[in-house]
Amino acid sequence: MDLLSLTASEIASKIRSRELTSEEVTAAFLERIRRFDPEIKAFNEVFSDHALAQAKEIDTKISKKEQVGPLAGVPIAIKDNMLIRGELCTCSSNILTGFRATYDAYVIRRLRAAGTVFLGRTNLDEFAMGSSTENSALRTTRNPWDFQCIPGGSSGGSAASVAARLAPLALGSDTGGSIRQPAALCGVNGFKPTYGRVSRFGLVAFASSLDQIGPFATNARDMAILLQAIAGYDENDSTSVNHPVPDYSAALDEDLQGLRIGLPKEYFIEGLDADVKKAVQEAIKVLQGLGATVQEISLPHTEYSLAVYYILAPSEASANLSRFDGVRYGRRAADAGNLLELYERSRGEGFGPEVKRRIMLGTYALSAGYYEAYYAKAQKVRTLVKHDFDEAFKTVDIIVTPTTPTPAFRIGEKVSDPLQMYLSDIFTISCNLAGLPGLSLPCGLSGSRLPIGMQLLGKPFNEETILRVAHQYGKKTSWHKQIPKLGVPA
């Protein structure tokens, strides 16, 4: 049986019916990781023994006809900034060398209850700060469609693992596009839920008012099932919202008749790659053919989003990363003469250049004399960005945009120019500033045979509409079924 052609929900069904065992499924994905990940470098660590032990436990429960979760036996990859009790958690940073989690993140507890099998920890830009996974202190992940290209970031390892079919599912985190952007560049589905929909308890914080955990999968149904497993209120997270979680799978098969789609003119701009523009326009025609109506809208404060993000996110990072001091956990500089020297040397040795850059930017923006001019003003503009979306959703049900301005760029192409790198997230940042749900799904290939993504943005806590649109689009197209010829430009 060709496991690569099976969706996660099909794998789960076959394991429950005992047509497949979790152990053989897990072993097959571990073997694929063994063969291809030395070149892709999606994983920071593979839990080979633990994964097989988990799989055997699930198979035993099923053979005894015990109750199991909806994803029982299905392997999943976890971004290396979520705590798994007893396992290393590095955030792809030298400052967390040797740190082992003492408890499970909320999403990990939920995944255990759902019966998933943890394949390993995936690579990311250090502390999730980056758009290409080149900022990792451990390795540079490669795009499975072309090993000379980046997979996107910061959840590049998770996106690449699903694209290369090293895992049927993965979790990532999204602060300014870190799920959706790599999903687009790797040709998979990636979903950032509404802020507060999924608990951040046990997620190593980057920017607490922006971070959100979400799923990667090859199709909308798997996304719905995985989101169902991790969504919900958690009293351990003060930003978790106690809002009813609907049955995401139930709404997938409703048609799109009368659905109102908004196309923001600020997202179809000069500089947008011609292949990306054409693919998204063709995808919109497919949605129209399914009964949706389209109208142009305006989100007038979009142009300020990038500047707002790069004040607010570094400011929050400056506060959050102050906990890494060389005293309580992680890297500790040797032979420091006093406490201040211990702090300085531990952080100097442990943090990479991009993390240092953002800490300094954030500290400056929060400093006396500059707080009102930068941080406070950015918060006011953030409110205007959210207001734009609130107004737009009075006349439309969903907003459609390109996910990224270009397909994947080459490794090393933008590392010396941070501003060009930051522009990679220009279409995804507003979603985080407004706290909205956003999904990227594959909608084409460029002339050089690299994936192109379309972004769907929805109303707060209306993830089901986004998933329905993605599912109906997927039924009419086959972009999500494309599997890269690993490392070989087509």
10-residue block means of pLDDT along the chain (490 residues)? 88 97 97 97 98 98 95 98 98 96 98 98 98 97 97 98 98 98 98 98 97 98 98 97 96 96 94 96 98 98 96 96 89 90 93 96 93 95 98 98 97 87 91 98 97 98 98 97 72
Among residues 92, 93, 154, 430, the one annotated as catalytic is 154
Determine the structural domain holding residue 159 and report its residue range. Answer: 3-254+462-481
10 in a structural domain: yes
Give catalytic status of residue 155 as yes or no. Answer: no
Amino acid symbol at 473: Y
Dihedral Cα 359, 362, 366, 368, nearest 10 deg? 70
Among residues 9, 155, 178, 440, the one annotated as catalytic is 178
Q: What is the pLDDT of residue 55?
A: 98
Rounded-to-integer distance, Cα 348 and Cα 433, Å: 30
Q: What is the pLDDT of residue 380?
A: 97
What is the arrangement of strands in the sheet containing 170-174, beginning at the earlier edge strand? 43-46, 117-122, 75-79, 170-174, 212-217, 189-192, 438-445, 451-458, 398-402, 260-264, 293-297
300 in a structural domain: no
149 in a structural domain: yes
Q: What is the pLDDT of residue 487?
A: 52
Name 297's bridge partners. Answer: 264
Q: Do 8 and 72 meet the contact criterion of CB atoms below 8 Å apart?
A: no
Q: What is the pLDDT of residue 381?
A: 98
410 in a structural domain: no
Q: What is the pLDDT of residue 1?
A: 64
What the block records as the tokens of 438 is 């956003």
Give catalytic status of residue 318 as yes or no. Answer: no
Residue 403: name the closest of 486, 470, 483 by CA: 470
80 in a structural domain: yes
Give catalytic status of residue 173 as yes or no. Answer: no
Instruction: Look at the alpha carbons of 435, 93, 363, 419 in this order and tell me if their dihedral is positive or negative.
Output: negative
For residue 111, what is the domain's CATH number?
Answer: 3.90.1300.10
Query: What is the β-pairing status of strands 212-217 and 293-297?
Result: unpaired
328 in a structural domain: no
State how many domains the chain has: 1
244 in a structural domain: yes
Among residues 9, 14, 22, 79, the one annotated as catalytic is 79
49 in a structural domain: yes
